[in-house]
Amino acid sequence: MSPRIDEQISDGRSRDGRPAWPMKPVNQRAVIVSLAFTGLVAAFMMTLMTPLVPELPVILGASPQDCQWALTVTLLAAAVSTPIAGRFGDLYGKRRVVLGLLALVVLGSVIAMFASSLAPLIIARALQGTGLGVIPLGLSILRDVLHRDRLGGAIALVSATLGVGGAVGLPISAVVAQYLDWHFLFVLSGVLSAAGCLLVWRLVPADTLRGEGSFDVVGALGLAVGLVALLLGISEGNTWGWTSPATLGLLIGSVLVFVLWGLFELRTESPLIDLRVAARRTVLFTNIASITVGFGFFGTAVMFPQLLEAPAVTGVGLGQTMLIASLCLAPSGLVMWAISPVAARLTRARGGRVALLLGIGILAAAYVLSILFMTAVWQMILVTTVIGLGVGFAYGAMPTLIMGAVPATETAASNGLNAVMRTLGSTIASAVLGVVLVGDVVSAGGVTTTSTAGFRLTFVISAGVAIMGVVATVLIPRHHPSYRAASIPDADDLSERTPSAA
């Protein structure tokens, strides 16, 4: 086989950087805008209920512990569905799966519009959680249809929507929760999701690259059981007790399930996730670094709102309303959006490893800064904005690193696994930081809140986790041997490639 034909088959692109399979003319700008919009909508679903959580027990007539399931189930659904949807997309068409996920979000929104008790709301939130899979699928669609010269910027932009949608969605949710009936939140989510469906259907091409093989049903079930057990054990450990039979049973059970699942995946012909590819140093250490970025990013949603909203009478809090606290976090998401083209240029010029290292380094520095800067609203805005800057660089680099080291026909599944790693980091952050926040408190004027020392300890822990991410990033090979069927080349490797291995 000639080098040119081999390149087209293995890499999915011709030498000029265009997709090599027959496609109708594509409006690339419209594709980017459509997928960025759907990413914003999916991320918005994850924080949609956050401002309402304190009011849910009164609204629904349920206990506070039971109402937490309106948040927990969304996280679980997102973690389980994302890698499974990615594999479906690789096999049966990515646009088709994106439309299916958005349809589930619309269905969940409709159910929640008419919910008056906890059970239907939990079902609705589970359906909405599945929408997070549109972000890794969107990244893979970009890889399939865009010219390579535009790919880096588009990947950074769509990756940033994970943070932008959450950060900007918080004040929107707070306004609706404060001034309107809470059901309007789901009217809004339904309209946005339906608009996303229409944009994808009209503007995103259907004939993207697909892989071969059959869907691994057993592998999907095994991964779902293992992830649910792991994430549920971590997220509920603070409530149930870390030494309770339920918590230990879930955590130990998840380890056993993952061991059996891994053995099965290594032996099946068409695995849900190719563990041999996932074990490559570039993919492995990028995913480990992703856990630390997920931890650091979610810390802004755990610690800073509590610090901003705690009554000033305690001598710790800043006494702000829920709406003002949400607005203080919004610049973090906006800077992630603004920095995406810069992150793309850095990744293209110096490689994803350098951009990821810079991003996690900024994240670590921001948490060190927060140890000293925690006594004024402007300081909170400054620190969270710097955190958004670091996360923006990191989120823009991780998909590029992953897609530079996996086969072109496995991009959606591999990006889905990377998204799960971020979710795992967020879940660990919620559990670990939650233990500290409720374990070191002060009381004044009849109000109890986390002490200054407690908040500072959470910042120290977050900085330490970010430093672990720096170490993981350093361990990513500077010049990794590229997959013959790599999705996209990494800048670190361009100087060492031969034309037939591009």
Q: What is the pLDDT along the chain (502 residues), one digit of tens a residue?
A: 333 323 333 345 544 455 554 455 678 889 999 999 999 999 888 878 877 777 788 888 888 778 878 878 888 888 888 889 988 888 888 999 999 999 999 999 999 999 989 899 999 999 999 998 898 899 888 888 887 778 888 888 888 887 777 777 778 887 877 788 888 989 999 999 999 999 999 999 886 667 777 889 999 999 999 989 988 888 888 778 889 999 999 999 999 999 999 999 999 888 888 888 888 899 999 999 999 999 998 878 778 888 888 888 777 778 888 788 888 888 888 888 888 888 888 988 888 899 999 999 999 999 999 988 888 899 999 999 999 999 999 988 888 898 888 887 777 778 888 888 888 888 788 778 877 887 777 777 677 778 888 889 999 999 999 999 999 999 998 865 554 444 444 444 443 433 333 3
pTM reported for the whole predicted model: 0.82
CA distance 429 to 462: 8
Domain boundaries, the chain: 24-215+270-501, 216-269
DSSP alpha helix (H) spans, 351-451: 352-372, 377-403, 411-439
As beta bridge partners, residue 443 has: 448
423 within 8 A of 297, measured Cβ to Cβ = no
Q: Which amino acid is at 132?
A: L
| Cα dihedral 339, 340, 346, 352 sign | positive
Give the residue carrying structure tokens 């929104």. Answer: 109
Q: How far apart are the first and last CA of the chain?
A: 15
Token readout for 186 is 């789901």
- Class of 24-215+270-501 per CATH? mainly alpha
Q: What is the dihedral of CA 207, 211, 213, 214, to 10 degrees?
A: -60
As beta bridge partners, residue 13 has: 19
Q: Which amino acid is at 324?
A: I
Q: How far is CA 159 from CA 20, 86, 389, in A?
A: 25, 15, 13
500 within 8 A of 3, measured Cβ to Cβ = yes
Contacts of 154 (CB under 8 A, 6+ apart): 32, 35, 142, 146, 344
